[in-house]
Chain A
Amino acid sequence: MNEANNETTNLAPDEASEIVRATGERARHELLINRPLLFGAWGLTALVGYGILWLSVRDQHPYRGPSATALSWLLVVVVIGTFARIWVVSRSSAGLAGPSNLRRSMLALSLVAGTATLWILDGALSHAGAPRAATAVLTMAAPLVSLGLVFCASAAARTNARTLALGLGLLVVVAGGAWAGPVGCLAVYALAGGGALLVAATVEALV
């Protein structure tokens, strides 16, 4: 039957309520970013990425930096993690038109620009004579600092307390881990940083 031409549909309130529930559930599944998957991808990237670097430098006295092999594996982890996150976001963005796409692009740009700026600052400190062990902490902290601030900004735009808690939590991890030095900070960032993101993924899946 062509419903469009038949306006006398006898829709009972309970049927209408079921349509609202089922349609809303499907629309949320299809159109909203899967936050457990997104936070999970971030968490695994941090846990494995920082973990690889820590395994590479844990016995170094004095600190010399991660090996080329460890950096190669890190690159693989980062690329896989990036593709996973792009897949999660683009799946919900298909057919979407409006300011949300622009907001997501701005957040991604902020993340990249923030990390790049901290790495440039790191280079400037090295150039000015700062010891390698000190600048290494900033190099390693840069991605988590940017990620924490981007989560805080995103939380402010959406008044989302859970995302704000995650962003602030990452910043606390970064600040606290820095005191463990260039080797210890990697273990802290892997376990506490990656762990916080994985806990956030679990919380998002449960609420």
Chain B
Amino acid sequence: MTMTTDDELDPVIHVPARLRIVVTLATLDEGDGLTFTRLQDLIGLTPGNLITHLRKLEEAGYVTMAKSSDATATRTSVALTYAGRAALERYTSTLRRLLDSATPA
């Protein structure tokens, strides 16, 4: 898991594509996930780019990827972990603090 100080934005999340992935998955209820294709549809990345970003998030412990298969196809579903949800909360509160301190009184 990536550790950051109070004034530092988590570098794992602080990339536009990964930020969009984490925010999208955080909309779901805890324990829910999205299929890879639906996530790709919502984020608008190529499959190659999406899997690269997902692997970085997975390495940080922020998402889990699970494969399931039936008679016709194999599906990959992606879900935000508890650590990922907590990381996004830290990220947004740090972001708010940075924006507030940048706003002239």
Interface, chain A (partner B; CB < 8 A)? 2-5, 7, 9, 11, 13-17, 19-20, 23-24, 26-28, 30-32, 94-100
Further contacts, 11 of them, CB under 8 A, given A19-B16, A97-B32:
A3-B16, A11-B15, A13-B95, A13-B99, A16-B19, A20-B23, A95-B39, A96-B33, A96-B34, A97-B77, A100-B31
B33 and A97 contacting across the interface, CB-CB below 8 Å: yes
**A residues in contact with B60, CB < 8 Å:** none
Interchain CA distance A2-B15 in the complex, whole Å: 12
A159 vs chain B, min Cβ distance (A): 13
B42 and A99 contacting across the interface, CB-CB below 8 Å: no
Interchain CA distance A17-B97 in the complex, whole Å: 11
A27 and B79 contacting across the interface, CB-CB below 8 Å: no
**B residues in contact with A14, CB < 8 Å:** 99
Interchain CA distance A11-B15 in the complex, whole Å: 7
**A residues in contact with B20, CB < 8 Å:** 19, 23
A46 vs chain B, min Cβ distance (A): 28
In the complex, residue of chain B having the shortest beta-carbon distance to the beta carbon of A158: B29
**A residues in contact with B92, CB < 8 Å:** 20
Interchain CA distance A99-B16 in the complex, whole Å: 29
Interface, chain B (partner A; CB < 8 A)? 9, 11, 14-17, 19-20, 23-24, 26-29, 31-35, 37-39, 41-42, 48-49, 52-53, 68, 75, 77, 79, 92, 95-96, 98-99, 102
| A32-B27, A95-B39, A99-B29 known; A11 vs B34 contact (CB < 8 Å) | no
Total A-B pairs in contact (CB under 8 Å)? 98
Interchain CA distance A123-B35 in the complex, whole Å: 46
B19 and A100 contacting across the interface, CB-CB below 8 Å: no
24 contacts between A and B (CB under 8 A): A3-B16, A4-B17, A4-B48, A5-B52, A7-B15, A9-B15, A9-B16, A11-B14, A13-B95, A13-B98, A19-B19, A20-B23, A23-B23, A24-B27, A27-B24, A31-B42, A32-B27, A95-B41, A97-B32, A97-B68, A97-B75, A98-B33, A98-B77, A98-B79
**A residues in contact with B53, CB < 8 Å:** 4
A11 and B28 contacting across the interface, CB-CB below 8 Å: no
**B residues in contact with A98, CB < 8 Å:** 28-29, 31-33, 77, 79
B16 and A97 contacting across the interface, CB-CB below 8 Å: no
Question: 8 closest pairs, A vs B, by CB?
Answer: A95-B38, A98-B32, A4-B52, A27-B27, A97-B77, A95-B35, A23-B23, A27-B24
**Residue from A16, A94, A96, A100 within 8 A of B14 (CB atoms):** A16
B25 vs chain A, min Cβ distance (A): 8
**Residue from A2, A7, A17, A95 within 8 A of B95 (CB atoms):** A17
| A13-B102, A31-B27, A99-B31 known; A94 vs B15 contact (CB < 8 Å) | no
**A residues in contact with B15, CB < 8 Å:** 3, 7, 9, 11
Interchain CA distance A41-B79 in the complex, whole Å: 31
| A13-B99, A97-B34 known; A24 vs B17 contact (CB < 8 Å) | no
